[in-house]
Amino acid sequence: MALELSVRPAIALLLGTLLIAGCDRETAPPPQAKHEAPAKGPELTGTLDISQRGKAAPADSFVDPAGKPVTLAAFKGKPVLVNLWATWCGPCVAEMPTLDGIAQRAGGKLKVLTVSQDRAGVDIGKTFAKGGYKLLEQYRDPESKLGFAFATGMLPTTVLYDAEGKEVWRVVGAMDWNGPRANTLLAEFIG
């Protein structure tokens, strides 16, 4: 009991000291300098993966803008940048303007395919109309065949194939395709 009585005053003294110390401010802290963060595009969270280099493009079909089945083999003869995206994927939609920028800069040296992984019946045209894309086309993969073939489990996923249909590299996650990192990755293909 004696120990218990001697501990209580010590605790009370400690709590009192802490309360006084916390309130012992004569003036408010100086205001922090205000600055606005610069506007930025998609986060550069994409991960470069070269583990599939040299692997042939999948033979799975998807749907072209006219609604007809097509495979990546139809694009042999020219390098192809395939981007899997969906309307519900914020980072996917955010990087679409930069993909349109690549298509413009490539000037026909590289085909940019944006392939929606949205289910059948989803109107991807609204996203295209809102974005005002000049060269991107509305390819669709409502059964996610390419998504399963790429096996990354993440959107967006972007894969570069050479003119022979062999994988060069892939980026899993969003990326600013107009930025310096993308310029380095694509320099060989769009100059």
Per-residue tens of pLDDT for the chain, all 191 residues: 444 445 455 444 444 443 344 443 444 444 433 333 334 544 567 999 999 999 999 999 999 999 999 999 999 999 999 999 999 999 999 999 999 999 999 988 999 999 999 999 999 999 999 999 999 999 999 999 999 999 999 999 999 999 999 999 999 999 999 889 998 999 998 86
Give the model's pLDDT for residue 9: 52
Domain 63-155: give its CATH architecture.
Answer: 3-Layer(aba) Sandwich (3.40)
| Distance from C-alpha of 93 to C-alpha of 156, rounded to nearest angstrom | 9
For every residue of the chain, DSSP letters joined together read: -HHHHHHHHHHHHHHHHHHHHHH--SSPPPPPPP-PPPP--S----EEE-TTTTPBPP---EE-TTS-EE-GGGGTTS-EEEEEE-TT-HHHHHHHHHHHHHHHHHTTSSEEEEEE-PPTT--THHHHHHHT-SS---EE-TT-HHHHHHT---SSEEEEE-TTSBEEEEEES---TTSHHHHHHHHHHH-
Stated pTM of the model: 0.77
Give the model's pLDDT for residue 173: 95
Give the model's pLDDT for residue 126: 95
List the chain domain ranges: 63-155
Give the model's pLDDT for residue 109: 94
Give the model's pLDDT for residue 71: 98
Give the model's pLDDT for residue 43: 54
Give the model's pLDDT for residue 8: 54
| Distance from C-alpha of 152 to C-alpha of 170, rounded to nearest angstrom | 10
